[in-house]
Amino acid sequence: MERTMNKVIDEARQGEVLVKESSIPAGKKFYLESYGCAMNFSDSEIIASIMIGMGFQTTSTTDDADVIFLNTCAIRDNAEQRIWARLKDFRQKKRKNPSLIVGVLGCMAERLKIELLEKEKLVDIVVGPDAYRDLPNLVSAAGSGQKAVNTLLSREETYAEISPVRLGSNGITAFISITRGCDNMCAFCVVPFTRGRERSRDPESIVNEARELFEQGYREVTLLGQNVDSYLWWGGGPKKDLPEDKAHAALSHKLPEEEQKQFTTFADLLDKVALVNKKLRIRFSTSNPRDMTDAVLYVMAQHENIAKYIHLPVQSGSTNVLEKMNRGYTRQQYMDRIESIRQILPGCALSTDIISGFCSETEEEHQETLSIMEWAGYDYAYMFKYSERPGTLAARKYADDVPEEVKSRRLTEIIDMQKKLSLISNKRDIGITVEVLVESNSKRSEDHLSGRSSEAKVVVFPRKNFKPGDYVRVKITDCTGGTLMGEALD
C-alpha cells in the first residue's frame, strides 16, 4: 500500500505542476456538502471563498454541479460510513456525466487518503484541511483526468487573510476560526492526526473579521478552536518557536507584567473581540477543562456581550477512565473548574460532551458519569457511544471490549439523565426575563420568532414587529425540555 500511495501522490503532484496556469471556463458550478463539527462548517466557508475566487459559482443541487465536494468528519466510524454511502449515490451521476468531479475534503480525506482515490473509482480529488489553497491546481488536474491529492499538514496555515463566504448564512450569526489543529493527544481522538499540530491565528485578523461581520449586519460570532483556551499569539514569533515552559507560563498569566504584554492569550483575545461593539454577542467553543483559566472567566464577567455559556467537555465522570482517555485532569479537578465558573459567573449555562462505553469502562465508572452529570446540572449535552478510530492511542493500547448492547444501554441512561436535567434547567427559567437575539422565524409558525438567549437556550415568542437581528427582552412563560417560550417585553 505504501508504494501505491507514494506513486499516486507523486503523479498528483506532477499534475499540479502542469496545470498551475490553467483557468476555469465561465459558468462552472460547485456543490459543497458539510459534515461534522462547527470547525468543518467554518472550513467550508474558506473552501467556497477559494472556489469562487477561481471563477466557480455555487449551486444548491448536485444535478447542476460540475464539481461536488464533501467536507468530511472522521471523529466516529458512523460519520465515515455516511460519506461512503453518499459517494456511492454519486456513482450514477458520474456515469451519466464523465466530466463530473467528486472530491472528499477535510478530516476523512486526511485519514484515508489513497483508499478514497482507489476504492471503486468514486473519488477524483482528496484534500486535507491544510491544503485548500491548492484547490485550483487539484481541480484542474482532476479535470484533465489525473488523480489529485494533497493531504500535507502544515505548522503555519490558518487561512487568516481569506475572507470566508458565509454559506447558508442567516446573516445574524457567524463562525470565526481562531486556531487550527490540536496538541492534546486524547486517546480516543483523531483530530491531531487529521488536522495536525495546533497553531493560533493573528489576533488582529480575528478582530478585523469580527468588526467586518458586525458592519455587514451580523450580531453574533462564535470563536472556534479545538481548544480555544490554548490560543497563544506571541509578538516575537509563532508559538511553536517558544520554549514549552515559557508558553505554559504565558497561557497561565504567570509571567512578569512587562513580559506578559508580549503575548495575547485567549482571555486577551476575548476582551479584544468583545470591545468591537457591545451589540456584537461573543461565543466560543471548545474549552478544555485543564486549560481554562480564571482570567477567561473574569473577562466574561466584565463584558455583557460575551455569552454566559461554556461548553466544557467532561467525557467521563471517572478519574480512572479520564486517565485512560489521556484527558489531563481528574474528576475532582473538573469539578473544581465548574466551582470556579459558578463563583465568578453565577448562572452561567453549561454543556458538555460524554462518551459511553470507553475501553473497559465498568458499571461503577458509568455510574460516576451519571453522578457528575447530576452534580453539574448540565443545561444540555452531546452524547455518544465510544467508536474506536484507527491510529489513536486507544486503538493501539486498549481493547474496545465493552459490548455494543452495553454501550447502547449506558448511552440511553445518559440521554435520559440529560433530558431530566435539561427540563429542570428550563423550568427554572419560567418567570425570568432573558435577552434574545432573534435568528429566524419559528420552525412551526411564521407568527413566531426564534432566537437564543445569552445562555444559548432556544427561545420562541410572538413576532409582533420584531425581526432577525433584533435583541429582544422576553419573559419566559413556559418550556419544553429543549425550548423556552415567552412574551416580548420591549
Q: What are phi and psi of 461, to 5 degrees?
A: -155, 160
| Res 377 pLDDT > 90 | yes
The C-alpha angle with vertex 115 and arms to 114 and 121, in degrees rounded to 5, equals: 95
pLDDT tens by residue, 183-192: 999 999 999 9
**How many CB atoms neighbour CB 442 within 10 A?**
18
Q: Where are the domains of the chain?
A: 2-150, 173-428, 433-488
Question: What are the two backbone dihedrals, phi and then psi, of residue 101, each rounded to the nearest 5 degrees?
Answer: -105, 130
Res 301 pLDDT > 80: yes
Question: How many residues can be counted in the chain?
Answer: 490
Q: 197 versus 276: which is more confidently predicted?
A: 276
Q: In the chain, helix, strand, coil percent, each to 5?
A: 40, 20, 40
Q: Is 27 exposed, middle or buried (0-12, 13-18, 19+ CB in 10 A)?
A: exposed
Ranges 243-247, 331-335, 410-414: which has the least confidence: 243-247
Torsion of CA 451, 60, 175, 111, to 10 degrees: 130
Longest dimension (CA), the chain: 68
Q: Which CATH architecture describes the domain 433-488?
A: Beta Barrel (2.40)
Strands (E), 55-197: 57-58, 67-72, 101-106, 125-127, 148-150, 173-177, 179-180
Alpha-carbon distance of 453 to 428, in angstroms, equals 14
> Which set of grid coordinates corresponds to residue 374?
447530576
> What is the pLDDT averaged over residues 295-313?
98
Q: Average per-residue pLDDT in the chain?
A: 90
| pLDDT at residue 270 in the model | 98
The CATH code that applies to domain 2-150 is 3.40.50.12160
- Asked whether 414 and 382 are in contact (CB, 8 A), the reply is no
CA separation for the pair 43, 34 (Å, rounded)? 9
- Helix crossing, 294-302 with 266-274: angle to 10°? 10
CATH superfamily of 173-428: tm_1862 like domain (3.80.30.20)
Cell numbers 480525506 correspond to 109
Which three cell numbers, joined as nine digits, stand for 432? 425570568
pLDDT at 2: 30
Q: Is the pLDDT reported for residue 9 higher than 50?
A: no
What kind and span of H or E run contains 285?
strand 281-285
pLDDT at 249 over 70: yes
Pick from 311, 309, 307: nearest CA to 274? 307
16 pLDDT band (50/70/90 cuts)? very low
Question: Is residue 4 scored above 50 in pLDDT?
Answer: no
Q: How many angstroms separate the CA atoms of 467 and 217, rounded?
A: 13
Give 432's strand partners: none
> In which band, very low, low, confident or very high, does the pLDDT at 238 lie, cut at 50, 70 and 90?
low
pLDDT band, very low/low/confident/very high, at 437 (cuts 50, 70, 90): very high
pLDDT digits 0-9 by tens, 96-153: 898 999 999 999 999 888 788 777 678 999 999 999 999 999 999 999 888 899 999 9
Region of 198 on the Ramachandran plot (φ > 0 left; ψ -120 to 50 alpha; else beta): beta
Closest CA to 49 of 164, 139, 136, 135: 164
Q: Is the pLDDT of residue 482 over 60?
A: yes
Contact 131, 159 (CB under 8 A): no
Is residue 1 over pLDDT 80? no
For residues 394-426, b (16+ Cβ closer than 10 Å) or e, as one string? Answer: bbeebeeebeeebbeebbebbeebbeebbeebb
| pLDDT for 10 beyond 50 | no
Which whole-number Å values give the CA distances from 128 to 56, 123, 125, 149, 380, in the listed order?
20, 14, 10, 8, 32
In this prediction, residues 465-488 reach a mean pLDDT of 97
- Cross-strand bridge partners of residue 435: 473
Q: Using pLDDT thresholds of 50, 70 and 90, give the confidence band for residue 91.
A: confident
pTM: 0.89
Decide if 2-150 and 433-488 have a common fold: no
Phi then psi dihedrals of residue 4, to 5 deg: -65, -45
**For residue 127, what are the β-bridge partners?**
105, 150
